[in-house]
Amino acid sequence: MIFGVRLAVETLSLKPTSKSMSQYPEAEYATQQKGYHQGPKSTSGLAIGSLVLGVSSFICTIFTGAIAIILGIIALSKISSSNGRLAGNGLAIAGIVTGALGCVWTLIMIGMLLPAVQQVRSAARRTMTMNNMRQMSLANLNHESTYMRFASNISEEDPESGENLSWRVHLLPYLGYQELYNQFKLNEPWDSAHNKSLIGQIPEVFQHPQIQAELPEGYTVFQFAVSPPGTENPALYVQGERGATFGEITDGSSNTIMILETSAAAAVPWTQPKDWQFDPDDPTRGVGDSFPGGFVVTFCDGATSFIDDGIGAQNMKSLVTRSEGDTPNHMAY
C-alpha cells in the first residue's frame, strides 16, 4: 500500500501542469524568426524630445515646432522597426501634433504682430525724418542770423557766382560739415568734374530714413518750395534770387513752409540747385508719399510738422506762399 501511494505521488510530480513552448516547436521557431522582444520595453528618447519641443513651440520660435515634427516622425520610424524593443508611439504622435499646432500658432502671431511692428518702425523713421528736417531748419535760421536772409541756391559768400550749388551745400557749415563744405568749388557748377565727385558724400541729415535705400546714390527728397521769377504770391524761395528775409514773410514765419519732403520720383542730387516747383493750381503735386497719411514739412520759425494728405489745396497754398495775406486753417493739418 505504501508503495502504491509513493508511486502515485511520483507520477503526479512528473505530470506537467501547463503546456510549455517546447510542446509547440513551430510557434517557438516563428517567434525567434520574427525577432520579437519578450522583455520590458524602453521609451524612445526621440519621442520624448518631440513632445517636449512640441509643447515648447508655443512659446519658442517656429523652428522648435519644425524640429518637434521631424523628431516625432523619426521616433515613429524607429519604434516601428524596433521589433517591440521601443515604446512611445503616443508620445511621438503627440509631439508631431503639438509641433504642428505650435508652428501654426507662431505664424498666426507673426501675422498679427507684423503690421504693428511695421507701424512702430514707420513711426520711428518719421520721427527721425522730422529730426533731420528740424536740423536743416535750425541751420537755415542760423544762416539768416549771419547774412540777414535765408539760404538759397546762391552762395552768400559769392552772390555773383549764380546758382551753382544747392542751398544744402551752403548750409553745411551750420550742420557741422565745414570740412566737406571747404571741398566744394563755389564758382563751379554742381556737375563740374570736381563738384560732381562729392555727390557720393551726402551727409546723413539729407538722407531720408524711410526711402533712402530706394534712391540713387547721393539723391535727396528734402527740398525748398520754389516759385518761378515774377510770381505775384511766391513761395519762400524764388528761382534765381537770393534767399528771402523775415521782412518778406508777411504771412508769418509759423504759417510759411521752409522745407518739405517730396516724393521719391522728385528726388534730386543733393548738390544740384533744383527744388520742388510750387504749382498754385495743384499745390500738393509731388509732395512726399513715404509715410502713410501725409508728409513732413518745416516752417520758417523752425517748427516741424506732419501734414495730413487731406489738407486741401487752399490750405496747402496758404502754407507755401509767404505773402498772400491769408491764414491757413491749422485744424486742417
Looking at the predicted structure, is the pLDDT value of residue 135 above 50? yes
**pLDDT tens sequence across 56-102:** 877 777 778 788 788 878 878 887 888 778 887 788 788 788 878 88
Question: How far apart, in whole angstroms, are the C-alpha atoms of residue 26 and residue 6?
Answer: 37
Q: How many residues does the chain have?
A: 333
As a whole number, the mean pLDDT across the chain is 84
Question: How far apart, in whole angstroms, are the C-alpha atoms of residue 102 and residue 63?
Answer: 10
Give the number of C-alpha atoms closer than 13 A to the C-alpha of residue 33, restricted to the C-beta side.
6
- Residue 94's pLDDT is 82
**pLDDT tens sequence across 183-225:** 999 999 999 999 999 999 999 999 999 999 999 999 999 999 9
Question: How far apart, in whole angstroms, are the C-alpha atoms of residue 272 and residue 190?
Answer: 6
List the beta strands (DSSP E) in 4-64: 42-43
Q: Would you state the cell numbers that stand for residue 248, as one nine-digit string?
A: 518778406
What are the DSSP calls for 266-284, one per residue?
A: G-EETTSS--EEP-TTSTT
Looking at the predicted structure, is the pLDDT value of residue 157 above 70? yes
pTM, rounded to two decimals: 0.68
Nearest to 102 by CA among 73, 75, 68: 68
Nearest to 128 by CA among 204, 209, 207, 221: 209
Helix (H, G, I), strand (E, B) or coil at 320: helix
Domains of the chain by residue range: 24-109, 148-332
